[in-house]
Amino acid sequence: MLGVSVNTFRVWATRARTARTGIAASMPSPVATLHGQVYRSEEIEDFGRLIALNARSPRSAQRGLGAYYTPSIAANLMVQWAVRDATNTLIEPSVGDGEFAIAAQRYAHGMGWGTLDVYACELDPETAARAASVGAIAPSRMRVGDFLSCHDLPSADAVIGNPPFVRVRELSAPLRRSALDAASSTLPRPMDASGSVWMPFVSKSLTHLKPGGRLALVLPLDFTYVKYARQLWLLLGAEFKKLSIIRFRERVFPDIMQNVLILLADGRGGSTDEVEVVSYDRIADVPDAGFGAGVSVPIEQVVSGQKVFQYALLPKETREVLQSLQAESAPAKGRIKFNIGYVSGNKQFFHPSPDTVQKFGIPQSSLQPTIQTSRQLTGSGLRTSSMTRSAELWSPIGELTSGEADYVSYGEANGVDMAYKCRIRKPWYRVPGVRNPQILMTTFSDRPRIHLNDAEWVASNSILCGYIQTRESAESIIESWYTPLTLLSVELNIHSLGGGVMIAVPGEADAVQLIDAKVTRPVDQSAIDAALRSNDATAAYSVGSASIEALVGVDGVDALWRGAAELERWRKAQV
């Protein structure tokens, strides 16, 4: 994601705690450990932008405020959509190098309309002076300062631009205050400062519009999934007649670590309960005539956290097949619920090597076979009974033997008891939440796979643990799981990080759609086993095709595969 080697990242991470300047000083802090440090993806994205700023110099000072300049192809398309006649007044709230204003004037001249009335705001005086010197904005129309606290702007037909994407809590105190106030002035609930400043920009921008006016803004893709923006979706639905977002599979800004979209909100004063999603591979694929039509999704589903923006990327036939399978399928959680496994607090200590077991005389009765890392499942068969035991958890049940008491003292001498997870439990060496799930699911993988835990192993938090909620057998879950419908639903529901690695979290795994047990045909489990052993998840998910084919035919199954492949293409293009 950052375009640096793992080693470079490690060096920065080691220096992060002490560094006062330079890249290491700006490193985000890890939020957890799981095979190493875990970082929030948004924080790594922010950090990536900072690295990009450092790498390129001349404009780097301005870029610290989130200043990535919009490519002219995007600005031209947005202008063409937003500017409707010679009398239109425009506002550009964060003008930067003036790309939108220039595009608007160029467009108006091309249409024979003369000069448009364009107002602009820019926080940075030098940038503002440069934008004004290009001549696209009359000096009397330029507002130098914070757009979010600017009251000196007229009503406009369109607000068009690319606001900064900087977390509110990272702004200086006055800017932070004006951002939170601007958000509160239109949104029903106060905004949390962990959210990004583009949201107050959108909410304030709409207050500057005349009835019938419109917004055309470049926003981060986060807008489609962050929880804090849900109230903005409701506000936009209540304020505009038509809403569209335009998504691009390839990055619009080739040189920054940020996926963006274009928001078009038309007809201020109207209302809608839908948002239209228009998608293209590249911005260059948008036809000259304009953005075109897309797939409408209900705002209500956006707000309830359903993955509708993913759904909208699917081909029409795939959406139809999904609809027709509604009655015979349901979210997994009615049959199986997923949780994370135990958190030991110190992997090495709680998973002692055979030598350590021997040295301290740890009894076999205190050791439980476990899936300690997801890697143990890579290339393994369907059942834990066929796997080699590569890890054991030390999990004493009753009183400690004298050898175990020595092991506890050894742990204390090495500070294991002071690790955060150990410190907060009593006694520190008893790991809670050690259970035997019936199903195990890989978390960090190209596509999640499930295994049958017939040997009753325990499992750590590197994988998801599935517990069956009904009287059915684990085999019956396996039969319903490995079908192309599940695969498509996995692509729809499970999120991924840059580079396309899927990260399954319990809520997402629970939401995966499974074909009902009553319509599931018996499958050849040895074929699933063979596919998993050869690490071929696609082959595993095709084993249950017959169940789906019986309901929607060969073409229907084909449409599901095509849908999954399309979502995979989008996932793998993600930065």
Distance CA 505, CA 338 (A): 8
SS (H, E, C) 286-305: CCCCCCCCCEEEEHHHHHCC
Among 81, 119, 147, 311, indicate the residue that binds ligand SAM (CB under 6 A): 147
How many whole angstroms separate alpha carbon 575 and alpha carbon 567?
A: 15
Rule CB under 6 A: is residue 121 a binding residue for ligand SAM?
yes
CB 95 within 8 A of CB 103: no
Q: Which two structure tokens, joined as six digits, stand for 524?
A: 């050849």
146 counts as binding ligand SAM under rule CB under 6 A: yes
In the DSSP assignment, the letter for residue 431 is -
The one segment of 4-12, 36-44, 161-169, 390-398 that binds ligand SAM by CB under 6 A: 161-169
Q: Which is nearer to ligand SAM, 283 or 468 (CB)?
A: 283
- Minimal distance, residue 185 CB to ligand SAM, in Å: 15
Rounded alpha-carbon distances, angstroms, from residue 59 to 21, 62, 97, 381, 433? 20, 6, 10, 54, 52
Question: Judged by CB under 6 A, does residue 547 bind ligand SAM?
Answer: no
Can residue 70 be called a binding residue for ligand SAM (CB under 6 A)?
Answer: yes
> Does the protein bind ligand SAM through residue 122 (CB under 6 A)?
yes
CA of 520: how far to CAs of 62, 455, 498, 528, 572, in Å?
Answer: 59, 25, 35, 15, 31
Please say whether the beta carbons of 231 and 188 come within 8 A. Answer: yes
Q: Which is nearer to ligand SAM, 146 or 568 (CB)?
A: 146
Cα separation of 62 and 81, whole Å?
28
Distance from chain centroid for Cα 141: 39
Contact status: 196 vs ligand SAM (CB under 6 A): no
Q: Which region among 111-119, 140-148, 323-331, 355-363 touches ligand SAM (by CB under 6 A)?
A: 140-148
If the CB atoms of residues 100 and 342 are measured against ligand SAM, the closer one turns out to be 100
Least Å distance, CB 96 to ligand SAM, is 2
Q: Around 52, how many Cα atoms within 13 Å sit in the side-chain half-sphere?
A: 21
Stretch that binds ligand SAM, among 67-75, 80-88, 252-260, 528-536 (CB under 6 A): 67-75
Nearer to ligand SAM, 122 or 417 (CB): 122
Of the candidate residues 45, 46, 97, 508, the single one contacting ligand SAM (CB under 6 A): 97
Residue 100 Cβ, how far from ligand SAM at the closest point, in Å?
A: 6
| Least distance between ligand SAM and beta carbon 125 (Å) | 10
The one segment of 23-31, 62-70, 330-338, 388-396 that binds ligand SAM by CB under 6 A? 62-70
Which residue has the CB atom at the shortest distance from ligand SAM? 96
Q: Is there binding between residue 91 and ligand SAM (CB under 6 A)?
A: no
Give phi and psi for 253, each to the nearest 5. Answer: -100, 100
Burial of 113 (0-12, 13-18, 19+ CB in 10 A): middle
Tell me whether residue 196 or residue 376 sits nearer to ligand SAM (CB atom): 196
| Closer Cβ to ligand SAM, 124 or 157, answer by number | 124
Q: 34, 47, 77, 161: which one contacts ligand SAM (CB under 6 A)? A: 161
By the rule CB under 6 A, 164 interacts with ligand SAM: yes
Distances (CA, A) of 20 to 13, 16, 27, 345, 411: 13, 8, 11, 30, 34
Stretch of residues binding ligand SAM (CB under 6 A), selected from 21-29, 92-100, 294-302, 304-312: 92-100
Residue in this structure with the two tokens 């059942």, named with its chain if needed: 383
Smallest gap, in angstroms, from Cβ of residue 203 to ligand SAM?
13
For residue 509, the SS3 value is helix
Site residues for ligand SAM, window 213-242 (CB under 6 A)? none
Smallest distance from ligand SAM to CB 525, Å = 54
User: How many CA atoms does the CB half-sphere of 428 hold within 13 Å?
Assistant: 19
To ligand SAM, the closest distance from the beta carbon of 434 in angstroms equals 49
Q: Of 76, 88, 94, 205, which lies in the binding site for ligand SAM, with binding defined by CB under 6 A?
A: 94
Q: Are 346 and 328 contacting, i.e. CB atoms less than 8 angstroms apart?
A: no
Is 510 an interacting residue with respect to ligand SAM (CB under 6 A)? no
| CA Rg value for the chain | 27
d(C-alpha 266, C-alpha 264), whole Å: 6
Which residues are near ligand SAM by CB under 6 A?
Answer: 62, 65-70, 94-97, 99-100, 121-124, 127, 146-148, 161-162, 164, 175
